[in-house]
A and B are shown apart, each in its own frame.
Chain A
Amino acid sequence: MAAFARARTSELAEPVARLWPDLAARDLRAPEIGLVMLRGRIGGDGAAFNLGEATVTRAVVEIKGGYRGYGQRLGREPATARLAAVADALWQNEQERARVEAEIVTPVTRRLAAESLQAKSEAAATKVDFFTLVRGESEP
């Protein structure tokens, strides 16, 4: 589900259109834009407080076989939230799960891992290397 929430639209739309062209998904909850109150913790690890809201789009679909999929993503992209729900519904079907994993989950997870590594590498380049000023002893 994390992969479906963070996939780019194309990372969902392309494999769904290519591999499941005849998929008829019924909207149980048509894509809907709303808010989620984001909570922080007092002092970082204490009781919750309300920090502020974020826009969220959610959708629920049902596909053949009665598999129900939930899509919910930050932002305001109704079509993408519905695609996330479709991908989740497909994943519920054990016959389809391997293909969903291979064609959607793995590529998205891999991209996110690469982006995360890039962000860490950029941060690491700004890490301070302290060196102690000479204190009168000879340096090794």
Chain B
Amino acid sequence: MSLAVSAPLAGSFLEPVFDSQRAFRAAMDALAHPGVVQPAGHGLPDTPLPAAAAALVLALCDYETPLFLGPSIETLPGTAAYLRFHSDAMLVTDPAMAAFAVIDLVRDGLDLAVFAQGTPEYPDRSTTVIALSPGLTDGPPLTFSGPGIAATATLQVAGLPAGFAQQWRANRAAFPLGVDIIFATSDAIIGLPRSARLSKDER
């Protein structure tokens, strides 16, 4: 009838309602205050991928959500099954179809152009990229301005690919289209919405 013995499966949120609301709140704050580190990943003591990223997927995706996993995430043991089971999300192989994507900056690289950019009628139908980073405060500094930023915000995400500044300028140029990024580690996230503008002197 059903599958008999399956591979072990890690648990979901300890307190599904409160933990998913905290994750939602963290994501909202991260995108409302670009560049400000938000603690995240509560209630997930045992996940196959960094908890803050897992929490976002479990809180934000459901059976109608196309989810793209970067090659390193897809092959991380138990991860695809874990995310699918606990979020119900539809796994898609084409990043341009994805509402959300989880990628590892270091292992998978980052090419913003491959993701869904939204349409002029529905700019919200773009991909929100959840990008795993080795650290949110120890990378080379990049200075941004824009909505939600008082003067300027300095992002120090580690693991960004060479040429990220050009990619981001192209992403910003397409506004209101374009992707939003949430960088994640095991216990924190930082948001970079498409509205954030890179300072002129950054390269």
Q: Do chains A and B touch in the complex (CB under 8 A)?
A: yes
Residues of A participating in the B interface, judged by any CB pair closer than 8 Å: 1, 27-30, 32, 60, 62, 65-70, 88, 91-93
Interchain CB contact under 8 A, B9 and A28: yes
- A29-B12, A32-B16 are contacts. A88–B2 as well, Cβ < 8 Å? yes
Q: B162 on the interface (CB 8 Å rule)?
A: no
Q: Is B5 in contact with A28, judged by CB distance below 8 angstroms?
A: no
Q: Is the interface of B mostly helix, strand, loop or mixed?
A: loop
A1 to B2 alpha-carbon distance, docked (Å): 9
Residue of A nearest to B7 (CB): A66
Q: Mark B1-37, 1 if CB is under 8 A from A, else 0.
A: 1111110110110001000000000000000000000
Contacts of B86 in A (CB 8 A): 29
A62 touches B9 (CB 8 A): yes
A-B contact count (CB 8 A): 37
Q: Which residues of A contact B85 (CB under 8 A)?
A: 28-29, 60
A66 to B11 CA separation, bound complex (whole angstroms): 14
CB distance from A80 to the nearest CB of B (A): 19
Q: Which of A30, A60, A67, A68 contacts B16 (CB under 8 A)?
A: A30
CB nearest to A65 among chain B residues: B5
- A-B pairs with lowest CB-CB distance, top 4: A66-B5, A68-B6, A92-B4, A28-B9
Checking B1, B8, B9, B12 against A1 with a beta-carbon cut-off of 8 angstroms, the contacting residue is B1
List B residues 162-186 near A (Cβ within 8 Å). none
A65 CB → nearest B CB, Å: 7
What residues of chain B lie closer than 8 Å to A1, measured between beta carbons? 1-2
Query: Shortest CB–CB separation between residue B140 and chain A, in angstroms?
Result: 42
Q: Which residues of A contact B16 (CB under 8 A)?
A: 30, 32
B2 touches A68 (CB 8 A): yes
Q: How long is the Cα–Cα vector from A69 to B16 in the complex, in angstroms? A: 20
Contact B3 A68 (CB under 8 A): yes
Task: Return the contact of A28 from the options B1, B3, B11 (Cβ within 8 A).
Answer: B11
Chain B residues with CB below 8 A from A65, complex form: 5
Contacts of B5 in A (CB 8 A): 65-68, 92
> In the complex, how many angstroms separate the beta carbon of B148 from the nearest chain A beta carbon?
33
**Residues on the B chain within 8 Å of A68, using CB:** 2-3, 5-6, 9
